[in-house]
Amino acid sequence: ARDHFKICWSIYVGWMPWGYAADEGIVSKWADKYGITIDVVQINDYIESINQYTVGEFDACTMTNMDALTIPAAGGVDSTALIIGDFSNGNDGIVLKGVDSLEGIKGQSVNLVELSVSHYMLARGLETVGLTERDIRVVNTSDADMVAISTTPSVTAIATWNPLLNEILSQDSMNLVFDSSKIPGEIIDLLVVNTDTLNQHPELGKALVGAWYETLAMMQEGAETATTARTAMAEASGTDLAGYEAQLASTLMFYSPQEAVEFALSETLPNTMQKVAEFSFAHGLLGDGAPDAGYIGIQTPSAIVGNPDYVQLRFDPSVMQLAADNEL
């Protein structure tokens, strides 16, 4: 049987524990426990990491709920959200220059990473003030350069995530007019595992979940290792402890597995996924074969969203439940 697995992650506040877990040997410790080996590979480019996972180079990958739907699931790779790590609670936001309310966005060019969760958040934000995407102009902008371009006079509206958001807000006359704390629980950061692999090798899921919660415990507020762990994570993401703490502040981390399980079981999750599916369909992200937003089935513990005969994305809290029950 297979006993070697590869997972990949990219730099983002909620996923930094993976790097720390790998460096500190926590992953290999848990892998040993289940008699397997796990390679943890960092990939700078977030999209590239998902693509690599989708074509089968990796068995698991970190991504948001929306990208899990539009890339692997839409690409016919049945995927399971093994770990619900956190949801963005202000980590994504819309910034306007000079104007201090979201209504002011009308008619402006908005710089954002097109088709990303920022785009989704923007669409949700526009809804709240009765606007649609037709009222603005979307300019696709690379996340790496978002901070640099924010200082230029021609840029007046930006939708982005942290740490870029904090950098931008630190400049004069930048107003945060909307952020993900207004749509809590809709932008979810996951560890997604290939469903077939997970079914054949449940030990992979157990090892990953075990390692994850051990790491989170080390960084949790109040833990004595918190400062060391967070400093290491801060450094790995190219900032300092203060910068990293600021990012954590706007992220709702599920430090305990029980919280994550509850989130998965809640009634709001299928609703969220329904919205995400609709948004994705409207932007052509579900593929050319998709006749409607329900083309791809999404299974959550409480309900199945979309086509039940073609489920490609599953939220399965069972392993996290084991962690919560201390049965790993």
Stretch in the footprint of another protein (CB under 8 A) among 134-142, 211-219, 257-265, 268-276? 134-142
Residue 116 interacts with another protein (CB under 8 A)? yes
Helical packing angle, 202-219 and 226-236, nearest 10°: 110
**Minimum distance from CB of 44 to another protein (Å)?**
6
CA distances for 9 relative to 76, 169, 191, angstroms: 21, 27, 9
Contact in structure between 36 and 201 (CB atoms under 8 Å): yes
Question: Which range in 92-100, 139-147, 178-186, 213-221 contacts another protein by CB under 8 A?
Answer: 139-147
Contact string (CB under 8 A) for another protein, positions 158-197, x = contact = -----xx--x--x-x-------------------------
And the tokens for 62? 């970190």
Tell me which of 99, 138, 217, 311 binds another protein, using CB under 8 A: 138
Structure tokens at 117: 């969760």
Contact range with another protein by CB under 8 A, out of 81-89, 100-108, 250-258, 280-288: 280-288
Binder among 37, 104, 108, 114 for another protein (CB under 8 A): 114
Site for another protein contains 45 (CB under 8 A): yes
Does position 239 interact with another protein (CB under 8 A)? The reply is: yes
For another protein, the binding residue among 136, 260, 273, 285 (CB under 8 A) is 285
Two tokens, residue 218: 């080390």
CB of residue 121 vs another protein: minimum separation in angstroms? Answer: 16
How many Cα atoms occupy the beta-carbon half-sphere of 47 within 13 Å? 9
8 sits in which H/E element = strand 4-9
14 Cβ neighbours under 8 A, 6+ residues apart: 85, 86, 91, 189, 251, 253
Work out which of 104, 202, 287, 301 binds another protein, going by CB under 8 A: 287
Per DSSP bridges, beta strands 297-299 and 304-305 are: antiparallel
Taking alpha carbons only, the member of 142, 101, 141, 136 closest to residue 122 is: 136
CA atoms of 264 and 270, how far apart (whole Å): 9
Q: Least distance in Å: CB of 137 to another protein?
A: 7
- Which residues bind to another protein, rule: CB under 8 A? 8, 11, 23, 41-45, 47-48, 51-52, 54-55, 57, 67, 70-71, 74-77, 111, 114-116, 137-149, 151-155, 163-164, 167, 170, 172, 231-232, 235, 237-239, 243, 285, 287-289
